[in-house]
Amino acid sequence: MKESTLATKVMVGVLCAGVTLYLALYVLMGFQSDVTTTVAYQYTVSQGTEASAVLVREELLLGSAGGYVDVVRSEGEKVASGGAVALLYSDPGALTTQQSIRTLTAEVEQLRHALTSGTQGADTAKLDEQVVASIVNLRALTASGDLSALEDSVLHLRTMVFRRDYSMGDTQSVARISQLIADKQAQLSTLQASLGQVSQTMYAPQAGVFSGQADGYESLVTPDMLSTMTPQQLSELLSAPAPAQPNTVGKLVTNPTWYLAALFPGDNQYNLTTGRTYTVAFSHDYYGDIPMTLERIEPSQDQTLVVFSCNTHLADTTLLRLQTVDIVTQRVTGIRIPRKALRVETTQVTREDGTVAEENQYYVYASVGGQAEKKPVNVLYTGDTFYLVEPSNPHAAIRLRAGEQVILSTSDIYDGKVVG
């Protein structure tokens, strides 16, 4: 009798445990949803054509008489007529001397700045923060390969270090800085006197924008040639090697208006119109969009030549010559959704003439307040993995908005369903 009672208790215990586990799993699955959502967001797609192109400018080569050259102008810097462009040396050691002069000049400026700002009192903790921030900024520039602002960053860091090292507050520190300035100024005077005996200055013959790169195309293609250039001539120019330019310091771009001569296959299928402004996107070397005015279209049997003009962004593009560009003819802006989120219903509509036709209506489901809402949309653009859509009625209270959670394709979904 006791053995039968024990067996019964074990069986009842196992049964209760099984029922409890089943109920727990059932409740857990009830709280889980099989609905997958993603954010719909505003997005713009550029449409147009890719073309091979050459940048054309009015350019004046700057020759040198040989020797050792130290360019004193930055790339893209404006130079007045008669302004200094470069220093020419007969002694190779003069280049080292010139670099020492620049370093000493920068140090004197830093010390003077530290002296004037330091006598007013300094917050040591704040200076420490500025030194650390300068080091972090310098590290970020070198890691990214962006050397355009590297010199300014180094000078700023050295200024902060000078101010921090000399405490900036007491009379003895001020005296040390003043003496250091006097010593470096004396070194500067000595170096400048020795340098004046072995150098001569090259001046700009006329005003312009300086570029240190002479690539040989300065004489191959000029703005005057663009009015009569044919697609065949441009094709030959794009494929021909440019002649070398020895013994040149650089060049001056003497006109602020520059041109882009581009060649794309086929006829003018994009209906480009002269006088209109189009956006030109550069694919490498310069990552940016530039608005340019279309000046000329010259189609041929299998390719079309287009000439654009621009009077901005000259300083940013002085190093560019042969380029692959995208001529943007249209931009489409809408709400981007994955392809799985778009749904379609085919309905029959009666036309005015009495005929019946099938019509597709597109919509998406969005999760709003824990429920699925059906929102009609129009398709603006079809991509490989996405659609650009807009609300069918932009003034409706229930319409798709950027930032909403759209529901991806799933079974058993309907308007008003609780989706958690």
Which CATH number does the domain housing residue 354 bear? 2.40.420
For 353, left (φ over 0), alpha (ψ -120 to 50), or beta? alpha
Among 317, 333, 349, which residue terminates a domain? 333
Q: What is the pLDDT of residues 241-275, one digit of tens each?
A: 887 777 788 999 999 999 999 999 888 777 889 99
Tell me, yes or no, whether 361 and 316 share the same domain.
Answer: no
Residue 376 lies in a domain: yes
- Judge whether residue 32 has pLDDT over 50: no
Residue 76 lies in a domain: no
Among 147, 164, 197, which residue terminates a domain? 197
Q: Looking at residues 292-321, what average pLDDT do you find? A: 94
Rounded CA separation 67/354 (Å): 90
Per-residue confidence (pLDDT) for residue 111, from 0 to 100:
74
**Which residue, chain included where needed, has tokens 């990214």?**
144
Tell me, yes or no, whether 329 and 341 share the same domain.
Answer: no
Q: What is the pLDDT of residues 211-225, one digit of tens each?
A: 998 988 998 999 999
Q: What is the pLDDT of residues 125-163, one digit of tens each?
A: 776 777 788 888 777 777 766 565 666 677 667 667 766
Name the pTM for this structure. 0.62
- Judge whether residue 364 has pLDDT over 70: yes
Per-residue confidence (pLDDT) for residue 1, from 0 to 100:
44
Q: Looking at residues 62-79, what average pLDDT do you find? A: 83
Residue 251 lies in a domain: yes
Tell me, yes or no, whether 232 and 272 share the same domain.
Answer: yes
Per-residue confidence (pLDDT) for residue 49, from 0 to 100:
87
Tell me, yes or no, whether 327 and 383 share the same domain.
Answer: no
Count of structural domains within the chain = 3
Tell me, yes or no, whether 367 and 305 share the same domain.
Answer: no
Tell me, yes or no, whether 193 and 213 share the same domain.
Answer: no
Per-residue confidence (pLDDT) for residue 185, from 0 to 100:
79
CB within 8 Å of 388: residues ≥ 6 apart = 43, 45, 332, 333, 334, 335, 336, 379, 380, 381
* DSSP letters for 236-285: HHHHSPPPP--SEEEEEE--S-EEEEEEEESS-TT---TT-EEEEEESSS
Tell me, yes or no, whether 309 and 278 share the same domain.
Answer: yes
Tell me, yes or no, whether 228 and 243 share the same domain.
Answer: yes
Tell me, yes or no, whether 343 and 324 share the same domain.
Answer: no
Instruction: Look up the domain containing 394 and give its range.
Output: 37-41+336-407
Closest CA to 313 of 292, 285, 283, 284: 292
Q: How confident is the model at residue 31 (pLDDT cuts 50, 70, 90)?
A: very low
Residue 83 lies in a domain: no
| Structure tokens that stand for 181 in this block | 């300035």
Tell me, yes or no, whether 220 and 328 share the same domain.
Answer: yes
Among 158, 175, 197, which residue terminates a domain? 197
CA dihedral for 115, 120, 123, 126, sign (positive or negative): negative
Query: Between these two residues, 293 and 158, which has the higher pLDDT value?
Result: 293
Residue 29 lies in a domain: no
Q: What is the pLDDT of residues 111-123, one digit of tens each?
A: 777 666 654 445 6
Per-residue confidence (pLDDT) for residue 183, from 0 to 100:
80
Residue 24 lies in a domain: no
Tell me, yes or no, whether 147 and 229 share the same domain.
Answer: no
Tell me, yes or no, whether 310 and 321 share the same domain.
Answer: yes
Q: How confident is the model at residue 366 (pLDDT cuts 50, 70, 90)?
A: very high
Radius of gyration (Cα) for the chain, nearest Å?
Answer: 36
Residue 174 lies in a domain: yes
Residue 4 lies in a domain: no
Summary mean pLDDT of the chain: 82
H-run or E-run covering 344: strand 343-350
Q: How confident is the model at residue 385 (pLDDT cuts 50, 70, 90)?
A: very high
Per the CB < 8 A criterion, the answer to whether 226 and 259 are in contact is yes
Per-residue confidence (pLDDT) for residue 140, from 0 to 100:
76
